[in-house]
Amino acid sequence: MKEGVYNILKGRFLFSDDAVKNWRMIIFLSVLAIVMIGSSHRADKKVHLISQLNAEVKELHSEFVDTRLEARRLKMETVVTRQVAEQGLAPSLTPPKKIKVTKTP
């Protein structure tokens, strides 16, 4: 047991007669590790992109709500009256009259 661990630490398993089998396994495990690391980095990049897009969606939604409130405020009768008063227009003082149309036979 002691000599087996000693041989592994010295690296004799890499240069012995059966080294080809060992090198195949080492290369396979190395490639597998590289693929796993690349996959992990890609997943992390996607998570960061998703969080960035969520923040942008929240910001755009907030801007939409602010713009909608501003549009509602600008549509109010008092605001419109004040803006057209600057151009010399004023609301009518006489109320509108209903016009009835009757058909004559």
In-domain check, residue 104:
no
Q: Dihedral angle at the C-alpha atoms of 78, 79, 80, 84, nearest 10 degrees?
A: 100
The predicted model gives 1-24 an average pLDDT of 75
In-domain check, residue 89:
no
pLDDT greater than 90 at residue 37: yes
Q: Residue 68: give the domain boundaries.
A: 2-81
In-domain check, residue 27:
yes
pLDDT greater than 80 at residue 21: no
Longest dimension (CA), the chain: 123
pLDDT tens, 38-74?
999 999 999 999 999 999 999 999 999 999 999 999 9
Question: How many folded domains does the chain comprise?
Answer: 1
In-domain check, residue 38:
yes
In-domain check, residue 59:
yes
In-domain check, residue 102:
no
Please name which of 58, 63, 65 lies closest in space to residue 50, comparing C-alpha atoms: 58
- 3-state SS, the chain, equals CHHHHHHHHHCHHHCCCCHHHHHHHHHHHHHHHHHHHHHHHHHHHHHHHHHHHHHHHHHHHHHHHHHHHHHHHHHCHHHHHHHHHCCCCCCCCCCCCCCCCCCCC
Please name which of 16, 29, 27, 20 lies closest in space to residue 4, comparing C-alpha atoms: 16
In-domain check, residue 77:
yes
In-domain check, residue 24:
yes
pTM: 0.56
Are the CB atoms for 14 and 22 separated by under 8 Å?
Answer: yes
